[in-house]
A and B are shown apart, each in its own frame.
Chain A
Amino acid sequence: GAVVSQHPSRVICKSGTSVKIECRSLDFQATTMFWYRQFPKQSLMLMATSNEGSKATYEQGVEKDKFLINHASLTLSTLTVTSAHPEDSSFYICSASLSNTGELFFGEGSRLTVL
Protein backbone atom coordinates (compact mmCIF):
# COMPACT_ATOMS: atom_id res chain seq x y z
CA GLY A 1 0.00 0.00 0.00
CA ALA A 2 0.88 3.66 -0.16
CA VAL A 3 3.14 5.12 2.51
CA VAL A 4 2.30 8.04 4.72
CA SER A 5 4.98 9.20 7.11
CA GLN A 6 4.40 11.33 10.18
CA HIS A 7 6.96 13.07 12.34
CA PRO A 8 7.67 13.30 15.22
CA SER A 9 6.24 10.11 16.68
CA ARG A 10 6.49 11.47 20.21
CA VAL A 11 6.85 14.98 21.48
CA ILE A 12 6.83 16.47 24.95
CA CYS A 13 6.50 20.20 25.35
CA LYS A 14 5.86 22.79 28.00
CA SER A 15 2.52 24.45 28.37
CA GLY A 16 2.27 27.59 26.24
CA THR A 17 4.68 26.47 23.55
CA SER A 18 3.83 25.44 19.98
CA VAL A 19 4.42 22.08 18.37
CA LYS A 20 4.53 21.24 14.68
CA ILE A 21 3.69 17.80 13.32
CA GLU A 22 4.52 16.86 9.74
CA CYS A 23 2.66 14.45 7.50
CA ARG A 24 4.18 13.31 4.22
CA SER A 25 2.92 11.10 1.45
CA LEU A 26 6.09 9.33 0.38
CA ASP A 27 5.15 7.63 -2.87
CA PHE A 28 2.10 9.47 -4.10
CA GLN A 29 0.68 12.95 -4.32
CA ALA A 30 -2.12 13.84 -1.97
CA THR A 31 -4.28 16.85 -2.73
CA THR A 32 -6.22 16.10 0.43
CA MET A 33 -4.98 14.97 3.80
CA PHE A 34 -6.94 14.43 6.97
CA TRP A 35 -5.95 15.12 10.55
CA TYR A 36 -7.42 13.08 13.38
CA ARG A 37 -7.19 13.11 17.10
CA GLN A 38 -7.55 9.89 19.06
CA PHE A 39 -8.14 9.59 22.78
CA PRO A 40 -7.27 6.35 24.59
CA LYS A 41 -9.60 3.51 23.67
CA GLN A 42 -11.67 5.76 21.43
CA SER A 43 -12.24 6.15 17.75
CA LEU A 44 -10.64 8.57 15.34
CA MET A 45 -12.03 12.07 15.61
CA LEU A 46 -11.66 14.08 12.43
CA MET A 47 -10.24 17.50 13.20
CA ALA A 48 -9.79 18.97 9.76
CA THR A 49 -9.37 18.28 6.10
CA SER A 50 -6.19 19.72 4.65
CA ASN A 51 -6.39 20.88 1.05
CA GLU A 52 -3.29 21.55 -1.00
CA GLY A 53 -3.04 25.20 -1.92
CA SER A 54 -6.11 26.31 -0.03
CA LYS A 55 -7.41 26.71 3.49
CA ALA A 56 -8.15 23.69 5.60
CA THR A 57 -11.71 22.75 6.41
CA TYR A 58 -12.20 22.37 10.15
CA GLU A 59 -14.77 20.22 11.87
CA GLN A 60 -17.22 21.81 14.24
CA GLY A 61 -15.70 22.50 17.62
CA VAL A 62 -12.10 22.50 16.42
CA GLU A 63 -10.38 25.85 16.88
CA LYS A 64 -8.65 26.77 13.65
CA ASP A 65 -6.46 29.36 15.37
CA LYS A 66 -5.22 26.76 17.80
CA PHE A 67 -4.68 23.94 15.35
CA LEU A 68 -3.00 25.52 12.36
CA ILE A 69 -2.89 23.42 9.23
CA ASN A 70 -0.73 24.11 6.22
CA HIS A 71 -0.73 22.03 3.06
CA ALA A 72 1.90 23.76 0.98
CA SER A 73 2.73 20.91 -1.39
CA LEU A 74 1.18 17.75 -2.77
CA THR A 75 3.23 15.63 -0.38
CA LEU A 76 3.31 17.60 2.86
CA SER A 77 0.76 18.80 5.36
CA THR A 78 1.62 20.21 8.76
CA LEU A 79 -0.39 20.57 11.95
CA THR A 80 0.79 23.14 14.47
CA VAL A 81 -0.66 23.05 17.95
CA THR A 82 -0.28 26.60 19.18
CA SER A 83 -0.03 27.64 22.80
CA ALA A 84 -0.37 24.03 23.85
CA HIS A 85 -2.08 23.13 27.10
CA PRO A 86 -2.18 19.81 28.98
CA GLU A 87 -5.66 19.10 27.60
CA ASP A 88 -4.15 19.10 24.11
CA SER A 89 -2.19 15.99 25.05
CA SER A 90 -3.36 13.28 22.69
CA PHE A 91 -2.50 10.98 19.80
CA TYR A 92 -2.66 12.89 16.52
CA ILE A 93 -2.82 10.94 13.26
CA CYS A 94 -2.77 12.15 9.69
CA SER A 95 -4.00 10.30 6.64
CA ALA A 96 -4.07 10.67 2.90
CA SER A 97 -6.08 8.94 0.22
CA LEU A 98 -5.11 7.69 -3.17
CA SER A 99 -7.01 9.66 -5.77
CA ASN A 100 -7.40 6.70 -8.14
CA THR A 101 -8.71 4.14 -5.64
CA GLY A 102 -9.88 6.26 -2.74
CA GLU A 103 -7.99 4.06 -0.28
CA LEU A 104 -7.00 5.86 2.91
CA PHE A 105 -3.60 5.36 4.50
CA PHE A 106 -2.47 6.60 7.88
CA GLY A 107 0.72 8.06 9.22
CA GLU A 108 2.37 6.50 12.26
CA GLY A 109 0.74 8.99 14.59
CA SER A 110 2.26 11.54 16.94
CA ARG A 111 1.81 11.31 20.67
CA LEU A 112 1.83 14.78 22.16
CA THR A 113 2.33 15.31 25.86
CA VAL A 114 1.99 18.83 27.19
CA LEU A 115 3.45 19.36 30.64
Chain B
Amino acid sequence: GENVEQHPSTLSVQEGDSAVIKCTYSDSASNYFPWYKQELGKRPQLIIDIRSNVGEKKDQRIAVTLNKTAKHFSLHITETQPEDSAVYFCAATNTGNQFYFGTGTSLTVIP
Protein backbone atom coordinates (compact mmCIF):
# COMPACT_ATOMS: atom_id res chain seq x y z
CA GLY B 1 0.00 0.00 0.00
CA GLU B 2 0.86 3.67 -0.03
CA ASN B 3 3.14 5.22 2.58
CA VAL B 4 3.16 8.96 3.09
CA GLU B 5 5.83 10.67 5.15
CA GLN B 6 5.64 14.29 6.23
CA HIS B 7 8.28 16.67 7.59
CA PRO B 8 8.77 18.58 9.75
CA SER B 9 6.45 17.57 12.56
CA THR B 10 6.62 21.04 14.07
CA LEU B 11 7.49 24.35 12.47
CA SER B 12 7.71 27.84 13.93
CA VAL B 13 8.11 30.91 11.75
CA GLN B 14 7.98 34.63 12.27
CA GLU B 15 4.97 36.42 10.90
CA GLY B 16 5.62 37.41 7.31
CA ASP B 17 8.13 34.65 6.67
CA SER B 18 7.50 31.63 4.49
CA ALA B 19 6.72 28.10 5.64
CA VAL B 20 7.46 24.92 3.70
CA ILE B 21 6.15 21.46 4.52
CA LYS B 22 7.31 18.42 2.60
CA CYS B 23 5.77 15.02 1.95
CA THR B 24 6.94 11.92 0.16
CA TYR B 25 4.89 9.02 -1.09
CA SER B 26 5.71 5.52 -2.22
CA ASP B 27 3.01 4.40 -4.66
CA SER B 28 3.59 5.65 -8.20
CA ALA B 29 -0.10 5.03 -8.92
CA SER B 30 -1.13 7.88 -6.60
CA ASN B 31 -2.41 10.73 -8.71
CA TYR B 32 -4.12 13.18 -6.35
CA PHE B 33 -2.41 15.04 -3.53
CA PRO B 34 -4.50 17.29 -1.27
CA TRP B 35 -3.41 19.38 1.67
CA TYR B 36 -5.58 19.93 4.72
CA LYS B 37 -5.49 22.48 7.51
CA GLN B 38 -6.87 21.45 10.87
CA GLU B 39 -7.42 23.85 13.72
CA LEU B 40 -7.69 22.52 17.23
CA GLY B 41 -10.88 20.53 17.76
CA LYS B 42 -12.13 21.15 14.24
CA ARG B 43 -12.39 19.22 11.03
CA PRO B 44 -9.59 19.14 8.47
CA GLN B 45 -10.26 21.68 5.71
CA LEU B 46 -9.03 21.23 2.16
CA ILE B 47 -6.79 24.20 1.36
CA ILE B 48 -5.17 23.20 -1.90
CA ASP B 49 -4.62 20.11 -4.01
CA ILE B 50 -2.63 19.01 -7.01
CA ARG B 51 -3.03 16.25 -9.54
CA SER B 52 -0.29 14.20 -11.10
CA ASN B 53 -0.52 15.91 -14.47
CA VAL B 54 0.49 19.26 -12.95
CA GLY B 55 3.81 20.29 -11.42
CA GLU B 56 2.74 23.35 -9.49
CA LYS B 57 -0.42 25.07 -8.35
CA LYS B 58 -0.87 28.37 -6.57
CA ASP B 59 -3.74 29.99 -4.75
CA GLN B 60 -2.87 33.41 -3.32
CA ARG B 61 -0.36 32.82 -0.51
CA ILE B 62 -0.47 29.05 -0.80
CA ALA B 63 1.28 26.93 -3.39
CA VAL B 64 1.92 23.24 -3.87
CA THR B 65 4.61 21.62 -5.97
CA LEU B 66 4.80 18.03 -7.14
CA ASN B 67 7.78 16.02 -8.33
CA LYS B 68 6.45 12.74 -9.65
CA THR B 69 9.86 11.35 -10.42
CA ALA B 70 11.08 11.82 -6.89
CA LYS B 71 7.64 11.11 -5.44
CA HIS B 72 7.49 14.17 -3.28
CA PHE B 73 5.22 17.18 -2.98
CA SER B 74 5.46 20.31 -0.89
CA LEU B 75 3.22 23.00 0.56
CA HIS B 76 4.49 26.56 0.50
CA ILE B 77 2.86 29.34 2.52
CA THR B 78 4.19 32.84 1.93
CA GLU B 79 3.72 35.96 4.04
CA THR B 80 2.54 33.86 6.95
CA GLN B 81 -0.02 35.27 9.35
CA PRO B 82 -0.94 34.18 12.91
CA GLU B 83 -4.18 32.69 11.59
CA ASP B 84 -2.12 30.26 9.53
CA SER B 85 -1.18 28.55 12.79
CA ALA B 86 -2.69 25.05 12.67
CA VAL B 87 -1.83 21.44 11.92
CA TYR B 88 -1.35 20.69 8.24
CA PHE B 89 -1.76 17.24 6.72
CA CYS B 90 -0.73 16.04 3.31
CA ALA B 91 -2.41 13.10 1.66
CA ALA B 92 -2.03 10.90 -1.39
CA THR B 93 -4.52 8.75 -3.21
CA ASN B 94 -5.21 6.98 -6.44
CA THR B 95 -8.51 8.67 -7.23
CA GLY B 96 -11.44 6.63 -6.05
CA ASN B 97 -9.46 4.73 -3.48
CA GLN B 98 -8.64 5.47 0.11
CA PHE B 99 -6.57 8.45 1.14
CA TYR B 100 -3.27 8.04 2.93
CA PHE B 101 -2.34 10.86 5.28
CA GLY B 102 0.95 12.19 6.49
CA THR B 103 1.61 12.48 10.20
CA GLY B 104 0.92 16.19 10.28
CA THR B 105 2.90 19.38 10.80
CA SER B 106 2.07 21.74 13.62
CA LEU B 107 2.74 25.23 12.30
CA THR B 108 3.09 28.16 14.67
CA VAL B 109 3.32 31.67 13.27
CA ILE B 110 4.84 34.01 15.82
CA PRO B 111 3.47 37.56 15.71
* Residues on A facing B (Cβ under 8 Å): 1, 34, 41-44, 46, 49, 91, 93, 95, 97, 99, 102-109, 111
Q: How large is the interface on B (under 10, 10 to 19, 20 to 34, 35 or more residues)?
A: 20 to 34
Q: Are A43 and B98 in contact (CB under 8 A)?
A: no
Q: Are A103 and B102 in contact (CB under 8 A)?
A: no
B104: A residues at CB distance < 8 A: 41-43
Interface residues of chain A: helix, strand, loop or mixed (majority): strand
Q: Are A102 and B98 in contact (CB under 8 A)?
A: no
Q: Are B43 and A106 in contact (CB under 8 A)?
A: yes
Given contacts A41-B106, A44-B89, contact A108 B43 (CB under 8 A): yes
Q: Are A104 and B43 in contact (CB under 8 A)?
A: no
Nearest-CB distance from B64 to chain A (Å)? 14
Q: State in angstroms the CA–CA spacing of A88 and B49 once bound together.
A: 32
A111: B residues at CB distance < 8 A: 41
